[in-house]
Amino acid sequence: MLYLQITANTGPAECCLAVAKALQLFNKEATKAGVTARIIEQVDGPHAGSLRSALLELTTDKNEDAVQHLAQAWEGSLLWICNSPYRLGHKRKNWFLGCKVFQPGSTMPESEIRYEATRASGPGGQHVNKTDSAIRATHIATGISVKVQTERSQHANKRLAAQLLSSKLEELHAAKERDSKAERRMQHHDTERGNARRIFVGMAFKEQKA
């Protein structure tokens, strides 16, 4: 199992739309690879149908290498080349987003986490609970928080939120070791412009092959 986050970082609305488009394509590739991708945390973008970020849990009941291979195919900086659908005539056409892979975190002492039950949000229908079963977990010392609403019970969401929070903290510590000047939030890593791992073109979000 791995976690993968697709994020617009601090980019404009166009980058948020790119996240939503990337998520749709990722789900297609995951299905083809036999990998189950569950959204366990998401932040909506400024326009309907856009996302600031989406955090996925990747699992499979087949070859575990499929998860690793799929994640590696997406990790890094992504570039969407398209005229802005929100600002007609805008000169900028290059919109960057990023993908980051997280390993499952280890168990963290309950005393270090503050839990809050909230109402699940998102599209209507059977996939969203109507009760306060969503859980927001905050690491007291750092203020880093996650919101999980995947499961139908508070207990299950609480367990998943604790593991996810631990994973983000471990990645934060690793990032600081790699670069002592890095003071970035785990949910929104800086995207490396000009060195895109994959490039997509147009509103159809078609991949540009090398």
Residue with tokens 């799929």: 70
**Domain span at 166:** 2-207
Q: List the CATH number of the domain containing 188.
A: 3.30.70.1660
Rounded to whole angstroms, how far apart are CA atoms 208 and 21?
15
Domains identified in the chain, total number:
1
User: Tens digits of per-residue pLDDT, 3-49?
Assistant: 898 999 889 999 999 999 999 999 999 999 999 999 888 889 999 99
- Who contacts 31 (Cβ-Cβ below 8 Å, separation ≥6)? none
Per-residue pLDDT, 124: 37
177 pLDDT more than 70 = no
CA atoms lying within 13 Å on the CB side of residue 62: 11
Indicate the average pLDDT of the chain.
Answer: 83
User: Tens digits of per-residue pLDDT, 88-98?
Assistant: 999 999 999 99
DSSP 8-state class, residue 161: H
